[in-house]
Amino acid sequence: MTEVKREVFGQMPQEEGGEVVEKFVLKSDSVKVEILSLGCIIAALETKDRDGEFSDVVLGFDTLEGYTRKHPFFGAVVGRVANRIAKGRFTVDGKEYQLFLNNGPNSLHGGARGFDKVLWSPQVLPNGVCFFRLSPDGEEGYPGDLKVWVTYTLCGGELAINYRAQTSKTTPINLTNHAYFNLAGQGSRDIYDHKFSIEADSYLPVDNTKIPTGEVAAVQGTGFDFRQPVELGQHLQKFHLDGFDHNFCLRQAQARRLAARACHPPTGRVMEVHTTQPGIQFYTGNNLDGSLKGKGTIAYPRHSAFCLETQNWPDAVNKHHFPNALLWPGEEYNHTTWLVFNTA
C-alpha cells in the first residue's frame, strides 16, 4: 500500500503571484518521495540501504526559497523541450521559431521560464499525484496550446513518472525529470564509488557547446562503453575524462525496457531506470562547484551527484535522422519512466 499525504510547503514570492506551493508525500514500505507542485519537483527521495536504514538520495533544498532562486533544475520536470536546441532555432511547417538563449548560444530545458519554474495543478490519486498545466501558445517561443499531465505513482520500490501532452499546433516536445542522485545519501562528497551500467551500443558526440554533431558513434572501445558495470572514479581516470553530459542511444522500442543501472556497493543501494524513451542523458554533476548550499546547508561540490534523464535525443528537432521530436494536433505524447530502488 502507498500512503499519500498533502501539505503546504511554502508560498511563492509576491512578485511571482504569492500562491501556495504544496508538497505531496508518497510512502511505501521501502521508498518515501516528496514532490512539489512547483515544477513537479522531486524534493526528497528516501530509500533503504542493505541494513534497512533510510537515506535521502536526491539533492535539493529544505525550503521553498532554495527552489525559487537560481539552481541547476534540481528534481524538476523540464520542458517544453528538455536538453539543448542549437541556436534556439527550429522550423515547423515552414515557419522558423526563435527561442530564448539561456545556455551559451543554445536554448536549454525550455528557456528562461520553463516547466520547472511554474506552478502545476495537482490531483491526488490512490497511490500518487497527477499534475496538470496548460502551456499557452507562444510560451517561451513555442507554438501551440500544450496541455501537459505529469503523474507520479509509487508501488513498493518502484516510482513511475508518466508524461502526457496534447497540442493545438505542431510543436517540439521532450519531457524529463532532472533529479540529481547520490545513492550514498545526498550531501555525500562524490559519486566516484558508484557503479554504472547503460544499455546502449551508441552515444552522441557533441561539439564544444554540447550540441550533438549528428554522428551516432559506437561505444565499443571508448570511455562511453557502459554495457558492463564500471566504477565511475576509476573509469574517469582510465580514459582521462572530466565527467559525462551525453546522450546514450537506447534500443528503439515503444515498450518498457531497462535503460541504466546505478549501484553504490558500500550501502548496497541500487537504482534501475526503465523507460519508453529513445535516449538517456548521463550527467555527472560537472557544473556543481560547491557554491550552492542544499539540505542541511551542505555544499554540493563537482561530481557529488548524477542524473540519468530519460528523453529524446538532444537537438532532435533540427536533426532529421534523430527520433521524431514533434507532436501533432490530434496525437498524444505519452512516455513513462520507472525508477526502481532495491539493494544488492
Provide the annotated binding site for beta-D-galactose.
83-84, 178-180, 245
Segments in the chain forming alpha helices (H): 64-68, 232-238
**Distance of alpha carbon 325 from alpha carbon 342, whole angstroms:** 33
Q: What letters, b where the CB count within 10 A reaches 16 and e where it falls short, cover 114-150?
A: bbbbbbbebeeeebbbbbebebeeebbbbbbbbebbb
Q: What are residue 281's DSSP bridge partners?
A: 247, 309
Residue type, 255: A
Catalytic choice (22, 140, 178, 194)? 178
Q: In angstroms, how far is the first alpha carbon of the chain from the final one?
A: 23
Residue 320 annotated among the catalytic residues of the structure: no
**Distance of alpha carbon 327 from alpha carbon 319, whole angstroms:** 16
Residue 309 annotated among the catalytic residues of the structure: yes
Extended strands (E) in 139-233: 146-155, 158-167, 171-172, 176-177, 195-198, 202-203, 217-218, 230-231
C-beta separation of 178 from 148 below 8 A: no
Catalytic choice (46, 140, 272, 309)? 309
**Distance of alpha carbon 190 from alpha carbon 236, whole angstroms:** 13
Going by C-beta distance under 8 Å and a sequence separation of 6 or more, which residues neighbour residue 277? 176, 250, 259, 310, 311, 312, 335, 337
**Distance of alpha carbon 289 from alpha carbon 269, whole angstroms:** 25
Catalytic amino acids?
Answer: 178, 309
